[in-house]
Amino acid sequence: MDIVTVDGRDAATFERFFQLRDDVRRTEQEFPAGLGLEEAKVLFAGEHSDMRVDGIGLVDGDTWLGIAWLDWWLQENTHLVDVELAVAPQYRRQGVGSQLLEIVAERARQEGRRLLSGIALGDAETGESAGTAFAVAHGFVRKHVDLHQVIELPLPAEQLDKLEREVPGYQILQWREHMPEEWLEEFADALSAMTVDVPTGELQLEATQWTPERIREAEARRVKQGRTCHTTVAVAEDGRLAAYTQMGGAAGTPDRLYQWDTFVRPEHRGRKLGMAVKIPNLRSLQAELDQPAVLHTWNAPSNAPMIAVNEHLGFRPVAQRSNWEREL
């Protein structure tokens, strides 16, 4: 058995690694979500100020048995490494996942990380799966759960018309890949506030400190990845950004779209600003669709208002996603 290190520079190795991960996602999920090949390649092969991404493959001759995908955070959360394991269905329950985990734990220790963190996808009702059983067997502790909801787009225009509400006192603005210069500072502040506010259970996570430079770096990365991003914001009378929402997808996986953040500043809550930014953003997103697509979103069950807004739009639950941690 060989251990192969994958960093994105050798295209053939990277594609083999990615293929296994993608095949496993497609068999585990009714509605597969996640990065396409080109998006992933940019993460693995590029230089980023906030993260390094690499992987490990367990290979027997020409056969890839399993992989580990590792996200090493470089600015915040330098105490942990995020790990995703995927083992080909025909090689499960033979210790492949355990062997990969051991290799990862050793590397993490060598790099001075003290925490392994990972996500397991599970059944919509029970939350359980092979991944959660594996995590329990290896001493991981479940620290947070998100409900995964989906909806098929495009939604009928009449449905959006019915849901659209103007909120007096707020101006709605939209932009695409590049944020207008005048909103950078304010948006960096709102993004940082969002990472503090979003429920993350008992996860040992540090909030992300967004800056204008970091926003521009993330935008450039998204463009390289072939991603699209639709942003709608609500601006209050004092000129401050009161709410925002972002949605998008990638050219390589046109059937997968994502509802990323929706955030309303605490002092502007209770005025239906969430819906006031979501509906115009959905219109912008689906105006460009040339085929039906699935819009994915994840929210903590404790974030009941957001889940209710989504249900109101027609989203339905398809899975639970749990976050696990293990001290090293």
Classify residue 180 as exposed, middle or buried by CB count within 10 Å of its CB (0-12, 13-18, 19+).
exposed
Question: 211: which DSSP letter?
Answer: -
145 binds ligand COA (CB under 6 A): no
Question: Which secondary-structure segment (H or E) carries 58?
Answer: strand 51-60
1 binds ligand COA (CB under 6 A): no
Q: Tell me the three state secondary structure of residue 48.
A: coil
Q: Taking the complex as a whole, how short is the minimal distance between the CB of residue 261 and ligand COA, in angstroms?
A: 23
Distance CA 303, CA 181 (A): 32
94 binds ligand COA (CB under 6 A): yes
CA distances in angstroms from 178 to 7, 74, 194, 212, 220, listed in the order given: 29, 24, 20, 12, 9
33 binds ligand COA (CB under 6 A): no
For ligand COA, give the closer residue by CB, 132 or 262. 132
For ligand COA, give the closer residue by CB, 69 or 244. 69
Tokens of 59: 């290979």
Letter for the amino acid at 128? E
CA distances in angstroms from 183 to 187, 190, 228, 277, 290, listed in the order given: 6, 10, 19, 16, 30
92 binds ligand COA (CB under 6 A): yes
For ligand COA, give the closer residue by CB, 19 or 49. 19
For ligand COA, give the closer residue by CB, 1 or 133. 133
81 binds ligand COA (CB under 6 A): no
Contacting residue, 57, 97, 248, 280, with ligand COA by CB under 6 A:
97
Question: 300: which DSSP letter?
Answer: -
Which candidate, 230, 231, 240, places its Cα nearest to that of 170?
240
The site string for ligand COA over 294-313 (x = CB under 6 A, - otherwise) reads: --------------------
159 binds ligand COA (CB under 6 A): no
Q: Taking the complex as a whole, how short is the minimal distance between the CB of residue 326 and ligand COA, in angstroms?
A: 12
The torsion defined by the Cα of 61, 63, 66 and 71, in degrees rounded to 10, comes to: 80
Q: Taking the complex as a whole, how short is the minimal distance between the CB of residue 260 and ligand COA, in angstroms?
A: 22
Distance CA 319, CA 321 (A): 7
Contacting residue, 2, 47, 93, 182, with ligand COA by CB under 6 A:
93
Q: Taking the complex as a whole, how short is the minimal distance between the CB of residue 132 and ligand COA, in angstroms?
A: 8
The site string for ligand COA over 103-142 (x = CB under 6 A, - otherwise) reads: ---------------xxxx-------xxx-xx--x-----
Residues that bind ligand COA in the complex, under the rule CB under 6 A: 24, 28, 66, 84-87, 92-98, 118-121, 129-131, 133-134, 137
